[in-house]
Structure 1
Amino acid sequence: MRTQEYLIFKDPENKLHPSPKVLTQVFLMTCITQSINLNIPDTFNCTAMTPEQRILLGVDWVWALLEKPSKNPKIQIAVRVLHLPEWEGSGESSATLEASSDSIQIAQMESSNKSMCERMVNFCTSIGKDCYALFLFFGKKDDKQNIYGVLSNNFGAAIGKCSNIDRAFIENFVKGSKFDTPQKMMQAIVSRKKSENLTLVIKFS
């Protein structure tokens, strides 16, 4: 995957520092291109969020499995990308670049009492069990070269128990876990019984 190539790449002159925004867009465009190559846009589509939506909902994009022939979303996966701290600090952040927009400032004020992770969990919970939160880790502390994901339709239970939905909370799922493939992730989602809770840890690269 192209995103992994950026994570692995070592610039001998130390001049290449792709921003988190660029890495996120490369991953997303790779997924969109692959879905087009497989001729599945009619059954599986992707909606990228606007800057305002990303702030208000905590979501970078939403994957949806569509019903036929209506093409209404049957299952949705809201995705939030989490970068390594050193990547988060590289380049000019998207928030800084977009800060001059009035709509961005309003969105920031409206959502300032919750973390980005909590906003996404609340968004998924408001839709129901057929909407999953997927947190993508572009590298982790002990493995900076691979992409991992934690997917669940039950993060809302943690909020009910007053747990903080933050990076540390989500990373705990990855520690010592057995990793599923993206294919097994989709199979588990499609075969899940109605109202059943599902939590998976996935290795994407």
Structure 2
Amino acid sequence: MGFKNLFNSKKILSLLAVCMLTGTDMLFAQGTEAAGAAATDAPKDNGLATAGYYILMFLVVCFFIGIIGKVFRVYDLTQQIRGKQPLNWNNVMGTICMIFLIGGLYGVYWSFTTQGSMILPSAASEHGGVLDTMFWTTTGITMPVFIITQILLFSFLFRYRYNAKRRGHFLPHNNTIEKVWTIAPAIVLTVLVIFGFFTWQSIMN
């Protein structure tokens, strides 16, 4: 029996239906237990039902993603039959990467501007201020690096996506780049570790 015969559409749909029925039973059981707990004022652990709910939602999302993939596949085959150019997935993926980059950077900005005040509450101990300084120092060093690397990563994915008219170049090795991205992080991490070590020594003394 081949792999395609083992996992065909009917079996996948049957498995999804079983999972949906199981998840529905778990949700009904959760609702019944919640009602009973409210009546008797005895809360119960609904961890299994909650896990079943999230597993069900994950399977449903995967199912719809599979449907969307099949729709695009049928569209590509239809375009090929008509003798037209199929969908350029390299451009699609490059565009999705740029959208993800913009959305992710905006999410970081929104998180800091909206919820930044909740990152660290006021220090409640004598040494809390020093620890907060360590945290913000580490964040101030790593956050710009994170933003720069993400911009470069997704920009390169978009800029150098496959193009039949462009010829790629193979660069096997670059000693200068290897030294820079090895020595620079090592120096930064060493400074942070030494800073943390002396801070901890001052707290313990």
Q: Which has the larger radius of gyration?
A: 2
Same fold (TM over 0.5): no
Q: In proportion to residue count, which structure has more strand?
A: 1
Q: In proportion to residue count, which structure has more helix?
A: 2
The TM-score, its normalising length taken from structure 2, stands at 0.22
